[in-house]
Chains A and B, each alone.
Chain A
Amino acid sequence: MRKHVVLAVLLLIALVLSACAQATPTQAPPAGEATQPPAAGEATQPPAAGGEKVTLIIESWRNDDLPIWQDVIIPAFEAKYPNIHVVFSPTAPAEYNGVLNSKLEAGTAGDLITCRPFDASLKLYEKGYLAPLNDLPGMENFTDFAKTAWSTDDLSVTFCVPMASVIHGFFYNKEAFDKLGLQEPTTWDEFYQVLDKIKADGTYIPLVMGTADMWEAATMGFQNIGPNYWKGEEGRLALIRGEAKFTDEPYIKTWQQLARWREYLPPGFESVKYPDAQALFTLGKGAVYPTGSWEIALFEKQASFPLGIFKPPVEKAGDQCYISDHVDIALGMNAATKHPEAAKTFLSWVASAEFAELYGNALPGFFPLHSTPVELKDPLAQEFVSWRNECKSTIRNSYHILSRGEPNLENELWRVSAAVINGTMTPEQAAQEIQAGLDKWYKPKP
């Protein structure tokens, strides 16, 4: 009897040990294999010889867009290049960065990588996972402004093909404006006159936004209306060069405007969340909604009233206007892809006007960054994009370079902007806290 027990123990130990021992060799090869010719086990992707078909896999976080890629974009490409088969293989947005990093480290990532803007993709390029794409045919179709998000700091290397940006602005309920005889405001004075009239009437909530999730205060508030004060790119680059500070007048004025919004917001806005605010507006209970173009598809589907949009107000009529035209999504090439030629062919196509038109119309509110204007069919999207002709474009000032240290500028902007609207912090305090946080780690290069 005892012998059996001893045997059982030995067996158990042997099992555990062998399991451990097996785990190591199976994990080791992928890392070392990158330099070797493809192993027999990886024959699922045939080499691109002669007329053989090549399969390209796209990594992405846009799982909402899967049907559009499968039904519209990829068939259009494959009709032109029958030798290349493309598979769109998205991951859940919140997991994307983590999953992609481990896939790249293990050498199992797809051939084409959807790029987040700025530092996340820059880090991938610095680690050698993304190939430089400077000489890619079609890259000349993009301005430096569009390429900033996926280039090294000195703009010498670009590693992703820009795909789309989102534009900030204000949506309004046309029915409410018509009923109350209101016009789209262009200056701050007009903006508050409009809000005052809506408030006096009492049927609608003048300005629909909550501060519970905090990011609305920063993204749809601060970054939306601020560029008119800090003069877009001029102010953003001055911050990076250290010539301007958050304690300067443009930034204080931006927060002062946000503080004025408080009296026009829905009751209990401190605990109103983003989906609450969206529902409140699309149910027709609100008049004006500060946000961005990404809402077009949802709002057009849910709102039963006609929608209008207007630009962030300026101080005086006729002032140069600036809009936040934030670059958001791009496509790069895995440096370890086995089909670099096919991948480049696809990327060149993504850089073409044809792709821009397909993409821009399939996803209204995500605007192609192509330098030749794209014909958009959605009227709201058209109006948003027309602002590019009148106003100067800029990006959110916390995304480029200034969010690389601790405390993180973007998170801090969420926190103080929400506190300013809630009335628990003054614009001056907000400015001081932001600048102090930035000074702690950021040393501008002379």
Chain B
Amino acid sequence: MSTTSKSRAFPTHIVVFLAPAVIVYTLFMIYPLIDSLRLSFFATGPDNKEYFVGLQNYVKLFTDSNYAPRFWGALKNNIVFFLVHMLVQNPIGLLLAALLASGGWGRKFYRTVLFMPTVLSFVIIGFIWNLILSPLWGVAESILKAVGLGALFRPWLGLESTALVTISLISVWQFVGIPMILFYAALIGIPEELIEAARVDGATGWQVFWRIKFPLILPTVGIVGILTFVGNFNAFDLIYTIKGALAGPNFSTDIMGTLFYRTFFGQQLQLGNPTMGATVAAMMFLIILSGVLIYMFLWQRRVQTVEM
């Protein structure tokens, strides 16, 4: 190869390699996203034509006595849904990853088993948990009875006070494998020398974890956090399969995804309203966007990836 270019030529190859991704991404992601945002500024008139109405749909979403309680209710429920994941799913994921990374018998087996629910379909997860928790045929009640706690059993999925947390925990069960694998990959990437050095200096296992390992996997903590945030505010499937689009009882499990679905596609006798649906979708986009921006500017800039 004797190519020694004299002048900097136009990098055609870059264009070629980028073109497929740029074209596909623009056509199937950016264009629909912008068109959906555009739609949220329109409303359908009585003659089935769309008219530009400015911010009217947003005003309606925030103030109308029909839409506003649903929107704020869905947002509140979505925050609860997210907090349960942050407080339960991610710490458990970290704990499991730490246990797996510490080695020992059956590590590969447990790694696979714990990750398995993640690859199952939502429909299967919803069906299985409906059966497990069913007050008629479920095993949950018999298990509780076997340990003498039968009186604690409630139809958790059907009660307004517990349905949302129950579904959140089912989702945690399903997705705990993802933070686990990410933390696990980060933990086994830590050089053995550092840990040995700490041990030589007299650090206990607890100290090694919190003083050496945890600071080194902080970037992964951020990634897991933002993945959870984006995933939770886009969630829809599990609630739809377990509770349907009306997200009962009495809207207690209604989150942004189900609100969007119900508004956009309609439900039973309620006809779909594409423009209000696009408004809800735009709000979901803004919420997720602001979350991602906070992560990028407040977290990612402070946390330094340690190169070793």
Contact = CB atoms under 8 A, between A and B. Distances in A.
Interface of A: 2, 5-6, 8-9, 12, 16, 119-120, 127, 210-215, 266-273, 276, 280, 398-399, 403, 406-411, 414-415, 418-419, 422, 424-425, 437, 440
Given A9-B19, A211-B158, A270-B155, A280 B250 contact: no
Given A5-B13, A212-B248, A271 B133 contact: yes
B155 to A, nearest CB: 3
Nearest to A16: B23
A274 to B, nearest CB: 11
B200 interface: no
Interface string B144-175: 00000000011111111000000000000000
Contacts of B271: 119-120
Nearest to B276: A406
Contacts of A9: 12, 15-16, 19
Contacts of A16: 23
Contacts of B130: 271, 273
Given A16-B23, A266-B136, A424-B160, A5 B249 contact: no
B204 interface: no
Contacts of A425: 250
Given A5-B13, A213-B244, A440 B65 contact: yes
B269 A119 contact: yes
27 contacts: A8-B16, A9-B19, A16-B23, A120-B271, A127-B48, A212-B243, A215-B268, A266-B136, A268-B134, A268-B135, A268-B155, A269-B135, A270-B155, A270-B157, A271-B156, A276-B137, A406-B270, A406-B273, A407-B66, A408-B267, A408-B268, A410-B270, A414-B248, A415-B248, A419-B160, A422-B158, A422-B160
A398 B269 contact: yes
B246 interface: yes
Contacts of B15: 9
Contacts of A414: 246, 248, 268
Contacts of B246: 214, 411, 414-415
Interface string B255-272: 000000000000111110
B119 interface: no
A95 B138 CA distance: 32
A271 B16 CA distance: 56
Given A5-B16, A9-B12, A410 B268 contact: yes
A280 B136 contact: yes
Contacts of B48: 127
Interface residues of B, number: 38
B270 A408 contact: yes
Contacts of B58: none
B9 interface: yes
Chain A contact surface mostly: helix
B173 to A, nearest CB: 17
A213 B268 CA distance: 13
A411 B250 contact: no
B144 to A, nearest CB: 13
B251 interface: yes
Q: Report, nearest first, the 10 A-B pairs whose CB atoms are least far apart.
A: A268-B135, A270-B158, A271-B158, A268-B155, A408-B270, A271-B155, A410-B269, A403-B269, A271-B157, A270-B155
A21 to B, nearest CB: 15
Contacts of B251: 415
Nearest to B166: A271
A6 B12 contact: yes
Given A120-B271, A270-B159, 18 more contacts: A8-B16, A9-B19, A215-B268, A266-B135, A266-B136, A267-B135, A267-B155, A268-B158, A270-B158, A271-B134, A271-B156, A271-B158, A410-B270, A411-B246, A419-B160, A419-B249, A422-B160, A437-B66
Contacts of B137: 276
Contacts of B159: 270-271, 422
B158 A2 contact: no
Interface in B163-197: none
A396 to B, nearest CB: 10
A223 B172 CA distance: 39
A409 B271 CA distance: 12
A52 B146 CA distance: 75
Interface string B74-111: 00000000000000000000000000000000000000
B158 A269 contact: yes
A434 B159 CA distance: 21
Contacts of A406: 66, 270, 273
